[in-house]
Amino acid sequence: LADRQLSAHKANPANRGVTCRSGLWRYSRHPNYFFEFVHWFAYLALAVGAGPWPLALAALGPVVMFVFLYRFTGIPYTEQQALRSRGEDYAQYQRSTSAFFPLPPSS
């Protein structure tokens, strides 16, 4: 869904250089990363009846995914690229929109 919303935004020539702020992008600067994180909880749910060790290992999935996306691979790199390409427009978006968890935008 987020990819389609972003593609529709980019398809409009009037949006060239403008940050997408509609749909899921209104609530999170990285909705795809957030839902990637959420999907790891499915593995945790599948491990519920498998015993303590499989459950503990499955619980690490969402934690590791969050740390990698938020600190190392996903968000830092994407944020740097967006600031270079969209400048102040993206800086304003950073001030008003949650980086990861979907939250109502601030004013």
Burial call 15-52: b when 16+ CB within 10 Å, e when fewer: eeeebbbeebbbbbbbbbbbeebeebeeebeebeeeee
pLDDT at 81: 96
pLDDT tens string for the chain (107 positions)? 999 999 999 999 999 999 999 999 999 999 999 999 999 989 989 999 999 999 999 999 999 999 999 999 889 999 999 999 999 999 999 999 999 999 999 97
Which pTM does this prediction carry?
0.86
φ, ψ for residue 36 (rounded to 5)?
Answer: -65, -45
pLDDT at 107: 73
